[in-house]
Amino acid sequence: MPLKPCVLSQILIDETAEQQIVFIAERHGGRRIPIVIGQHEALAIDRAVKGQAFSRPLTHDLIANLMDRFGLKIDEIRINNFKDGVFFAELALHGPDGTATVIDCRPSDALAVLVRRPGTPLMVADTVLDEAGNP
Domains (range + CATH), the chain: 3-132 (3.10.690.10)
pLDDT 10s digits, 38-55: 888 888 888 888 888 778
pTM over 0.75: yes
Among residues of the chain, what percentage have pLDDT more than 70? 99
Q: How does DSSP classify residue 108?
A: H
Helix (H, G, I), strand (E, B) or coil at 34: strand
19: left (phi over 0), alpha (psi -120 to 50) or beta: beta
Pick from 17, 89, 11: which is nearest to 44 by CA? 11
User: CA-CA distance, 93 to 6, in Å (whole number)?
Assistant: 18
Helix (H, G, I), strand (E, B) or coil at 109: helix
pLDDT 10s digits, 51-84: 887 788 888 889 999 999 999 999 999 999 999 9
User: CA-CA distance, 53 to 87, in Å (whole number)?
Assistant: 29
Whole-number pLDDT of residue 13: 86
pLDDT 10s digits, 111-124: 999 999 989 999 99
